[in-house]
Structures are given as C-alpha cells and as structure tokens.
Amino acid sequence: MQELGVILMAAGQGTRMRSSLPKVLHPVCGKPLFLHALTKARELRPKRVALVIGYGAERVRQAYSANDVSWVIQEQQLGTGHAVLSAQKAFDHFEGDLLILSGDVPLIRTSTLHAMVEHHRRQRAALTLLTASLDQPKGYGRILRDDRGALTGIVEEKDATDEQRKIREVNAGVYVGSARFVFAALSKVTNHNQQGEYYLPDVVAIGLDQGKIVETVRVGDACEMMGVNTREELAFMEKTLRESINQKWMLAGVTLKDPETTYIDETVSIGKDTVIGPNTQLMGKTVIGERCRIDGSVFLTDALIGDEVHLRFSVVMSSCRVARGAIIGPFAHLRPGTDLSADVHIGNFVETKEAKIGEGTKANHLTYLGDVTIGCDTNIGAGTITCNYDGFHKYRTAIGDRVQVGSDTTLVAPIKLGDDVYVATASTIRHDVPAGALVFNQREEQVREGWTEQKRRKMKGRSK
Ligand code: UD1
Ligand code: CA
C-alpha cells in the first residue's frame, strides 16, 4: 500500500477578500476556512501533512493547536507551484502519493478525495486532478482537451483566449500525484504567464509531454469544489454549510422551527427531541442536552446545557454551564463562569457572571449576580445587586441555602450570608450575617398626611 501525504496550500493573502485577516482564517460556520479542508484530508489518515503558510503565518499557526502537521513557510507567494515546491523538504525520502489541496475549498468531501486516490492508484497515474463543470466558470483554470476529449493541459482565466474562456470544465484545484513526479515536474515550471506566477496546474502539460498518465476525476456536486475568493463567496459557503449542518441535526432528531434563521456552528452538538425556535445562534463548543426548549432569539457561545432546560425568548450566554431542568429568561444574560445547578430559575433582566448557583435557587427579576456563590433553594428578590467592584478589585459574595433576599437589596462584597438568613427588603448589607438571622437596615418610616394635595396646589400656583 502506497503512503499518502497531504499538502494544504494556505499562504496567500486572499487579496480579493480585501481584509487584513489572512483569507484562510475567515471563519465559515465558526471554523477557520483552512481547517475545513484540513479536517476532510485528515480523514484519509495521511502519513504526513504539510501546511504551506506565508501571509499572516503566525496567526494561521495559532489557529491550529495540534502539533501533528509540518508548517512550511513560503516567504514570498510566487504561485501555487512555488507553494508546493516549498513543501518538498517536508517530504524527504517520501515515496508515496501526495494529495494537494487549497485552504480555501471548505466543502470538499472526504468521499471525493478518497475516490480520487483510488482512481489514481487503479490507473497507475502520475497525476490525477479533480474537475467540475460549471455554468459560470469565471475565475477558474479551464481544462483543455483535444478533439478526442483527451486532456492536454490547463489554462488560467487570465491567460486564456476568448475561445478558451467558453470552456465550462474547470480545474477544481485538488490533485493527487506521486511525490516524485510532482516535485520533479515543478522544478521545470516557469512563471512566463500573465500573473508572473509559478502555476501548479502547469505540471499537467509537463506530465503529458513526458508521456505520463494524467487522469481527471469529475466531482459529483460542483458545490464541493467552490473556492472562497471574495466575501460574497464566503457568504455563499456559510449558507451552504449552514444548511447541511441544520439538515444533519434535523435528521438526528432535533426540531428546528425555522432552519432559515438557525445558525449552528460545526463544532456544536445537540441532543434529540430538543426544539429550537427562530433566530437562534449556537456557537463554538456549545453542547445542548436532550428535550430542551429554546424559544428563540438566543445567542449561545461555548455553553454547556443539560437535558430539559428551557431557554425562554432572548437569552445570551457565553462560557456557561447550565444543569438539567433549569429555566432561563426571557431576556437574561449569562456571562462567563456562570454555573447553574439543576432546576435553577433565572428570569427576566437578570445578569450573572462567575456565579455558582445551587439547585432549585431562583433569581427571577432585575438582578445582577457577579462573583457569587449561592446555595440551594434560595430566593433572590427583584432588584438585588451584588456590589462586587470598588473600582480597583473584584470581591466575592457567598449566600447559603434557603436564604430569602428581599427585593431591592444591595450586597456589598466581600460578604457572606449564612444558611436560612432573611434579608429585609430595601437593605444595604455590608457585613457577614450568621446563619438563621434576620438582617435589615434601621430606618424610620414617615407619613405626612395631605402632603400630595398641598404640593400640587403649590406647583399649580408656580406654573401660572
Ligand atoms: C487556482 C488554480 C485554478 C483553479 C482554482 C480552483 C492555480 C494557478 N490556479 O486558482 O486553476 O481553477 O485554484 O480553486 O493554481 N497559495 C499559496 N501560495 C501562493 C499562491 C497561492 O499558498 O503563492 C494558496 C492560496 O492561499 C490558496 C490556494 O493556494 O489557498 C489557491 O490560490 P488562489 O490564488 O486562490 O488560486 P486561484 O486563483 O483560485
Ligand atoms: Ca482560490
């Protein structure tokens, strides 16, 4: 069995994106462009993988944390042929086949790559390339064939004659070739063309000249080979991939009430019988349990949600954990470090941050809970604020089990309320309260009878 190596070209700036971010780092459904193609190629279990980077090399490298690839720096981007040739040193003493692809083709399927490798080996070819037939071939290299349909070469759009531009069969930019042939042929490629670049597709004509077998494989679904060169194509890619992700989850038993407005990153996972309403964005490493209800207008990033959780309308969460049976929202904001146990209720206009909240505890209205630990079965009244920041440092609040915090309470941290504490409404608490105690602020209630009438009369007199 021949060994397989992979070269992924990702050194270009992507000028047509008009971006300071390297093209291959633009995310598609939450994952940088180049990682899509890399994941697909990896599924063929290659022996070696080389990533050719150049523009924004450091940033590209940071986007891939595993160290199972060789990084090849192409200092100057002199063309795709030059990119592959720069990877030669990563394939010292490598006698197998190379799968060469670009970082900008996210929809390519593993089955297509597999079929190419199989075909290549069966035909004992020196090179096999993927082609597609497009209604709008603009921008792609065109496949040249003789009268009998035999392959003769590839011409780039910019070098093509008007007649050649009418050809609808294009080069998909994915190749399988014997390493020995590819590197030898590349050393013969020149940059005598419109763009002054070393074109990888030129190895096709070189191979044919040498009498080698060069094969083509047609891609089934042309969408697969679409490259991203512009923001418009990026949006198209996002939409296409989004639709296939949504379809995957529906097939897995998740209800999407409006797939058109449901955005699920490729990295997300969802349990079955969960029902998702419109305008939902599930991002990053979000994991949703089974039988959850998401009413709609929800924006989750890296949220771990247990089974049977109900997210009511309009909830924003990032880096949170929510256990089984919790009810959140409407209009709640759960910030990083929020960790809710089972059956917690977080209601409207409640914000949490670094908040560890025990089973069955409720904070249903207009509250800020920051840097706080709360026990079980505690009730946080409307308008409670943890004052965790004095302008210099953040301090923690600790609240025990079965505590009743009255409405309009401010808790000035650092502070601890023991179990079973009662906080009277409208209190400002600055000191620790022992378990089982009632705490309130001393203040006198005053009533002035007839005051309103007097005041109104006085104000009327003035306005004349
Ligand atoms: C290329 C092919 C074209 C094919 C199309 C399919 C060439 C000359 N043309 O055109 O026949 O139809 O892909 O999508 O190959 N890159 C480098 N270093 C470089 C230049 C490019 O790493 O010096 C990388 C880019 O980052 C990109 C990939 O190679 O990921 C392809 O380059 P791009 O400029 O997008 O080629 P196309 O013009 O699309
Ligand atoms: Ca391209």
Could you list which residues have their CB under 5 Å from ion ligand 2? Answer: 104, 227, 229
358-370, pLDDT tens digit by residue? 999 999 999 999 9
- In this prediction, residue 178 has a pLDDT band, given cuts at 50, 70 and 90, of very high
For residue 286, pLDDT over 90 is answered with yes
Using CB distances shorter than 6 Å, the residues near ligand 1 are 9-12, 52, 74, 77-80, 82-83, 102-104, 140-141, 154, 156, 170-173, 199-201, 227, 229
Mean pLDDT of the chain: 96
For residue 113, pLDDT over 80 is answered with yes
* pLDDT of res. 38: 96
102 Cα to the center of ligand 1, angstroms: 7
Q: Give the number of the atom of ligand 1 that is nearest the alpha carbon of residue 156.
A: 11
For residue 464, pLDDT over 80 is answered with no
Distances (CA, A) of 392 to 104, 122, 241, 388, 415: 46, 70, 46, 10, 17
From the candidates 114, 119, 310, 365, give the one annotated as an active-site residue. 365
User: Is residue 128 a contact partner of residue 175, using CB atoms and an 8 Å limit?
Assistant: yes
C-alpha to C-alpha distance for 380 and 288, rounded to whole angstroms: 27
Query: What radius of gyration do the chain's Cα atoms show?
Result: 31
**What are the φ and ψ backbone dihedral angles of 283, each rounded to 5 degrees?**
-125, 165
Q: Give the number of the atom of ligand 1 that is nearest the alpha carbon of residue 79.
A: 23
Q: Give the tokens for residue 211.
A: 């009498």
Q: Give the number of the atom of ligand 1 that is nearest the alpha carbon of residue 226.
A: 14
* pLDDT of res. 462: 83
232-272, pLDDT tens digit by residue? 999 999 999 999 999 999 999 999 999 999 999 999 999 99
User: Is residue 376 a contact partner of residue 393, using CB atoms and an 8 Å limit?
Assistant: no
Q: Give the number of the atom of ligand 1 that is nearest the alpha carbon of residue 225.
A: 14
Residue whose CB lies within 8 A of the most ligand 1 atoms, among 59, 80, 182, for a mutation test: 80
* pLDDT of res. 328: 98
For residue 2, pLDDT over 90 is answered with no
* pLDDT of res. 147: 97
* pLDDT of res. 82: 98
54 Cα to the center of ligand 1, angstroms: 13
Task: Name the residue with the closest Cα to ligand 1, atom 25.
Answer: 12
C-alpha to C-alpha distance for 67 and 339, rounded to whole angstroms: 32
Distances (CA, A) of 123 to 97, 116, 127, 408: 13, 11, 10, 78
Q: Catalytic: 365?
A: yes
* pLDDT of res. 443: 81
266 Cα to the center of ligand 1, angstroms: 25
- In this prediction, residue 419 has a pLDDT band, given cuts at 50, 70 and 90, of very high
C-alpha to C-alpha distance for 1 and 122, rounded to whole angstroms: 12
User: Is residue 290 a contact partner of residue 270, using CB atoms and an 8 Å limit?
Assistant: no
Q: What is the average per-residue pLDDT within 55-59?
A: 96
* pLDDT of res. 329: 97
288-318, pLDDT tens digit by residue? 999 999 999 999 999 999 999 999 999 999 9
